[in-house]
Amino acid sequence: MYSKPLDKMMKKKKVEAGDDVRVTKEKNSYTGTVMPKSESSDANILLIKLENGYNIGLDYNSKTRIEKLGTKSRLEKFPTHAFSFDPKKPTIMILHTGGTIASRVDYKTGGVSPAFTPEEFIAMFPELTKIANIKSRMIMNIASEDMDQTRYGHVAREAERDIKLGLDGIIIGHGTDTLHYSAAMLSYMLQNLPVPVVLVGAQRSSDRGSSDAALNLAAAVNFITKTDYAGVAVCMHENPSDDSCLVLPAAKLRKMHTSRRDAFRAVNASAIARVESSGKVEMIAENYLKKDKKRNAAVNVNIEPKVAIVKMYPLAEPAILDFYLKSGYRGIIIEGTGFGHVPTSPEDPKKSWLPAIKSAVKAGMTVVITSQTVHGATNKHVYRNLRLLEATGVIFGEDMTTEAAYTKLCFVLGNNKEPEKIREAMLSNIAGEISNRRELRQFP
């Protein structure tokens, strides 16, 4: 695992990955937990996780001194939390699906992985129980990129089950990489909700000093308990600091950064609410579905998985549509440039996408146009090429994000067979995915 001198010293000191150590090097002292070496790491580097949650690599030499302080047993087993029910407090269910928010460092691999029970998870955030009665259940344990049609339906059904118990709200812990896909999908599957369903993720694992998990969760709990909002939403950091979180519309957001804690942004929309770290909630939205426990949720988990996303670029060849058509795909989202352009190549008709799109539509495929600019809307009237594209039978997706249009098309095709009904549904505002009005302040 380590270089020969380092390995020899580790063996002599009986130090292993997961042990607490004090490392002294050149008059500096570091206290932390030994991390395992990865195959790509410098063989002479000793990796330790500091007490503040960050990792540091120390170049080992003969003058380096390592003192074993003990074995970090909490890495293998987290404490559990005993819950007491308070009838005066609202009750919230947290459904765990996996992802970084339910992760800690895996000392076998050096990475993060979901590795503890829901009871252990709540024990890490005892402050939540001061706001509400917290119930918790693990319904799956996967990375968010592994979501599929069966798992989307499972999450929706599990949420429905808890809503019928009369709970005050549902929180869904979810990996951030595809959180915006799941949020949009659930906003179509879970309609007419009597209480809020809030998806929460984390960009940093819960055992890191910079983790955003605690604030995101607390903000979601405060939002559920202190507002009259009902519907699907997402709660994540508003900025890099721990000042506040934003509650964002489920079908109008996107992950805009790989690692920042404030990675999620509303697209062509405003936030629903701001939740300060103090617990104060400021409602921003004015028109929204309000809580009513007597209301019966409409749950529909039928979706069509044979839908693809194709991104436009100058040298893109239209033959890809024929591939999808022959592979049995029923729908395609074309993420066009600008207002929704695709190559038309009047000088070389073979490079034009128009004939291929027209043939695909004629063969029964639904083709929806979105824009890769993220903000703004498609527009079929601005340029001649756009009017030619409209004539092929495509559906312009207004200001839907590509993710919202994709999940919507999966949902619509799962419940409709007739082309006209499919078109009508795609152009209807089902869950706030199409804006009635767009404002300049919504562009960051």
Catalytic residue among 33, 91, 97, 176: 176
383-431 pLDDT, tens digit per residue, is 989 999 999 999 999 999 999 999 999 999 999 999 999 999 999 999 9
Residues composing the chain: 444
User: Quick one: pLDDT at residue 297?
Assistant: 96
**Residue 408, helix vs strand vs coil:** helix
pLDDT in tens, 114-164: 545 556 666 677 788 889 999 888 898 888 899 999 999 999 999 999 999
Q: Among this protein's residues, is 255 annotated catalytic? A: yes
- Sequential pLDDT tens for the chain (444 residues): 556 677 777 778 788 877 888 888 887 888 888 877 654 456 677 878 787 666 777 887 878 888 888 876 444 455 555 667 888 999 999 999 977 666 555 554 445 555 455 566 666 777 888 899 998 888 988 888 999 999 999 999 999 999 999 999 999 999 899 999 999 999 999 999 999 999 999 887 665 656 788 899 999 999 999 999 999 999 999 999 989 999 999 999 999 999 899 999 999 999 999 999 999 999 999 999 999 999 999 999 999 999 999 999 998 999 999 999 999 999 999 999 999 999 997 778 788 999 999 999 999 999 999 999 999 999 999 998 999 999 999 999 999 999 999 999 999 999 999 999 999 999 999 999 999 776 666 666
CA dihedral (144, 146, 151, 152) positive or negative = positive
Active site residue 292: no
pLDDT of residue 205: 65
Whether 100 is a known active-site residue: answer yes
**From the candidates 255, 401, 402, 407, which is the catalytic residue?**
255
- In this predicted structure, what is the pLDDT of residue 115? 44
According to the model, what pLDDT value does residue 229 have? Answer: 98
Query: What are the pLDDT digits (tens) for 85-97?
Result: 888 999 999 999 9
**What are the phi and psi torsion angles at 176 (to 5°)?**
-80, -25
Tokens matching residue 154: 């499972």
Of 33, 100, 227, 370, catalytic: 100
CA separation (Å) from 358 to 80, 113, 362, 364, 377? 60, 46, 6, 10, 22
**The one catalytic residue among 7, 106, 177, 242:** 177
Longest dimension (CA), the chain: 77
Domains along the chain with CATH numbers: 4-74 (2.30.30.520), 91-299 (3.40.50.1170), 307-426 (3.40.50.40)
Structure tokens at 397: 């997706």
Q: What is the pTM assigned to this prediction?
A: 0.81
